[in-house]
Amino acid sequence: MPASLASLDTPVALIDVPRMQRNIQRMQQRMDALGVHLRPHIKTSKCLPVVQAQIQAGASGITVSTLKEAQHCFANGIQDIFYAVAMAPGKLPQALALRRKGCQLSLLVDSLAAAQAVVDFGGHHDERFAVWIEIDCDGHRSGLRVEDPSLVDIARTLSDGGMHLCGVMTHAGSSYELDTPQALQALAEQERHACVSAAQRIREAGLACPQVSIGSTPTALSAQHLEGVTEVRAGVYVFFDLVMHNVGVCSADELALSVLTTVIGHQKDKGWIITDAGWMAMSRDRGTQRQRRDFGYGQVCSEAGDWIDGARLTGANQEHGIITLERPENVDITTRFPIGSRLRILPNHACATGAQFPQYSACEASGEIQTWSRLHGW
């Protein structure tokens, strides 16, 4: 345990930097072996030093969930940025401003209306926007199904309208609901096949569709081959979390984000240990609720990070977390977890928990702790 951990006020979000670096290496090596580029989704960390570590390990460009992330990363020297949320026409002026400064920003559409809005705005401002088309490979959210008649129309609208069609992209978000290697491999293949097929449809119509971008952390780590794919986007692998642990794509010692908390009270009759990490620190994300193992609001570890079996954050108010033990017999909670003692909580969902904090405390193997700021808002 780094000596300087004791100097941190709680609650605080800790990054285990060696674990994070191993996670980055693991995904990069896998993508290298599969012969595709990795374009990490930075919505998980929203933190420049983390993104820089991903780029240093070999990432080709980044994916963002907000234009604020794009602005921040471009201001810090990152050029190739894919804003992977269907473009709201009202945000086009912001996108234009970024491109005019030299950012290689690319946009996403999944409707003729949005494609036409990009074409109209681009034409009006003499800007050749770079645009992707979103494909729906698993019915979980946005995108066009491969057989959608408007797929080729959208591609043609963009091309004829003078925009640059980057290619097609999809995200198998339903992978979060799976938990066997067989199901994950099948979905990874479904994701790949849908996106490659969509690209083929566009190409068969005589249009260029240079890139095929897929990805989610579970499918990226499960795909057996990625023929026809040019790049993979994945985000949460950088920290992993309990949801990913339940999905089965990471081990407990790969979980790189935790919340350091202080014990502030007990309800001895009920076996409750009360901490200063409530839902404001952990977020309200209950992503493990319907998974094979429900971790409540998080798995409890010692201050040093060792998993305490059966100890979970089962209740949360704004600034109060309630820890209970699966086997409370023979444990005097007031002496085992005295007031003022510290624990770490592993979160269900790293993207949601990180967002509750303005910064991370990044713990190096040497024990050194650095403060890494994090983007908040839009």
Complex with its own copies: residue 53 or 277, whichever CB lies closer = 277
User: Position 200: which residue type?
Assistant: Q
With CB under 8 A, what is the number of residues at the site for its own copies? 59
CA quadruple 77, 81, 86, 88: dihedral sign: positive
Complex with its own copies: residue 94 or 197, whichever CB lies closer = 94
How far apart are CB 28 and its own copies at their closest, in Å? 23
What are the tokens at 230? 């040019």
The 3-class SS string of 41-98 reads ECCCCCCHHHHHHHHHCCCCCEEECCHHHHHHHHHCCCCEEEEEEECCHHHHHHHHHH
Binding characters for its own copies, 82-121, by CB under 8 A (x = yes): ---xxxxxxx--x---------------xx-xx--x----
Q: Say how many Å lie between the first and final Cα of the chain, rounded.
A: 36
Cβ–Cβ under 8 Å, residues 52 and 58: no
Closest CA to 257 of 282, 284, 227, 234: 282
Q: What is the DSSP letter of 206?
A: T
Residues 167-196 that bind its own copies (CB under 8 A): 173
What are the tokens at 319? 């600034």
User: Which of 228, 265, 271, 328 touches its own copies (CB under 8 A)?
Assistant: 265
- Judged by phi (left if over 0) then psi (alpha if -120 to 50, else beta), residue 63 lies in beta
Q: Does 338 bind its own copies (CB under 8 A)?
A: yes
User: Which of 188, 355, 362, 369 touches its own copies (CB under 8 A)?
Assistant: 355
User: Which of 99, 286, 312, 344 touches its own copies (CB under 8 A)?
Assistant: 286
Q: Report the Cα 86 to chain-centroid distance in Å.
A: 17
Residues 10-39 that bind its own copies (CB under 8 A): 10-12
User: Which of 138, 231, 254, 285 touches its own copies (CB under 8 A)?
Assistant: 285
User: Which of 4, 56, 267, 370 touches its own copies (CB under 8 A)?
Assistant: 267
Distance CA 106, CA 116 (A): 16
User: Which of 34, 197, 320, 328 touches its own copies (CB under 8 A)?
Assistant: 320
Q: Does 149 bind its own copies (CB under 8 A)?
A: no
Complex with its own copies: residue 23 or 216, whichever CB lies closer = 216
Q: Does 4 bind its own copies (CB under 8 A)?
A: no
Q: Does 161 bind its own copies (CB under 8 A)?
A: no
Cβ–Cβ under 8 Å, residues 219 and 45: no
Q: Does 302 bind its own copies (CB under 8 A)?
A: no
Burial of 366 (0-12, 13-18, 19+ CB in 10 A): exposed
User: Which of 21, 106, 258, 283 touches its own copies (CB under 8 A)?
Assistant: 283
Q: Does 356 bind its own copies (CB under 8 A)?
A: yes
Instruction: Name the site residues for its own copies (rule: CB under 8 A).
Output: 9-12, 43, 65-66, 85-91, 94, 110-111, 113-114, 117, 136, 141-142, 173, 262-267, 274, 276, 279-281, 283-286, 315, 317-320, 322, 334, 338-340, 351-352, 355-359, 376-378
